[in-house]
Amino acid sequence: MELALLERLNAERAARRATILVTEIGSGRQRLVTPAEAPSDPLAERLAEGFRTGRSALVDLGNERVFLTVQVPSPRLVITGAVHISQALVPMATGAGFDVTIVDPRTAFATPERFPGVDLRAEWPEVVLPELALDPFTAVAALTHDPKIDDGMLAEALARGCFYVGALGSRRTHATRVERLAGLGVSREDLARIHAPIGLDIGAVSPAEIAVSILAEVIGVLRRRPAAREQAA
Amino acid sequence: MFAREEDVLEAAAGWRREGRGVALATVVETWGSAPRPVGSHLAVDEEGNFLGSVSGGCVEGAVVTEAAEVIADGQARMLEFGVADATAWEVGLSCGGRISVYVEKVA
């Protein structure tokens, strides 16, 4: 592979853009295909399948074999709330391969001392959402308990088709949240997508245990449902 | 450090920019209970330093050895590992699976 091609592949991934590297096994010839270019490519159907599933694959064309290195954006976890649960969740999610961002306008919570080395935005969601550019490869966990912070993020996450949307709080808290968001114009269908109470029911008590239950739920949705990738393709 | 797939490709590019000879190995086919999915990468430099994995440790040594050849002659190769292919390679996969690994030079 030419270094320039490898660098383009890396740049596309860093920009969270899907791309497929096509390698002709026999000749060693390679090309990079974007979702926009795929429909006019000779391998259009197989490329579409690659973008949809996110899976790399060897394709036998009869007279030659080509390998598709499929690259879709790495999963990202955006959390509102620089809280105790987040402190436990960040290293776990990072280790599982997620890019993590924390949003919390409360500067007493959102400090580098509490979250060393983390992409931390001490801003209101409304301010940072344009640059965060939530997408179908993003999971959102709302953990502040504060509607002023969580609601805007949840509405945006649902509108942008985030593959997972979860919110901390009891069933009663969630019922009032649903009514508030419905009042903002969020559809009932979208509201039904919110995982609440957040996390798998494993009887979690401590912040670290709750973090495990949240991350397990996020991974379950990521791996079992192709929906996120289909929307992005 | 625990490396993600993207770290492996970044490392391959970074090593090459430094002027090192670099090969990139990619799992292109698996049969049975192969330990790493299709698309997994292993980056190898000319001194045998490597990052990533193609088998969870079973055949990395053989891939690194072959990568040195690929770096030297620039010819990409398809390697096959597994219980059914013991004739081609001394090494095998303890899990009983089979894998094909494509090794190419980063030029």
Query: pLDDT by residue (tens digit) across A164-201?
Result: 999 999 999 999 999 999 999 999 999 999 999 999 99
The answer to whether A181 touches A191, Cβ cutoff 8 Å, is yes
Closest C-alpha among B31, B42, B26 to residue B98:
B31
Identify the closest residue of chain A to B9 by CA–CA distance: A10
Give the highest mean pLDDT range of A80-94, B56-70, B78-92: A80-94
Domains in chain B: boundaries:
5-106
pLDDT band at B1 (very low <50, low <70, confident <90, very high): very low
Q: At what angle do helices A3-14 and B5-17 cross, to 10 degrees?
A: 140
Whether the complex's predicted ipTM is more than 0.95 is answered with no
pLDDT digits (tens, 9 = 90+) for A121-159: 999 999 999 999 998 889 999 999 999 999 999 999 999
Average pLDDT of every residue of chain A: 93
Sequence-ordered strand ranges (E) for chain A: 19-24, 30-33, 57-60, 65-71, 76-80, 99-103, 119-121, 138-142, 164-167
Contact at CB, B9 and A10, closer than 8 angstroms? yes
For residue B41, what are its two tokens? Answer: 């990468």
On chain A, the residues whose CB falls within 8 A of the CB of B12 are 6
pLDDT score of A226 more than 60: no
Identify the closest residue of chain B to A21 by CA–CA distance: B39
The strand pairing partners of B25, in sequence order, are B42, B103
User: Would residue B41 be called left, alpha or beta, if left means φ above 0 and alpha means ψ between -120 and 50 degrees?
Assistant: beta
Q: How far does B47 lie from chain A, in Å, by closest CA?
A: 19
Of B17, B76, B100, the CB nearest to A28: B76
pLDDT digits (tens, 9 = 90+) for B68-94: 999 999 999 999 987 544 444 555 555
In a mutagenesis test of the A interface, which of B102, B103, B105 is the best target, namely the one with the most A β-carbons within 10 Å?
B102
What domains appear along chain A, each with residue ranges and CATH number?
3-71 (no CATH), 76-228 (3.40.50.720)
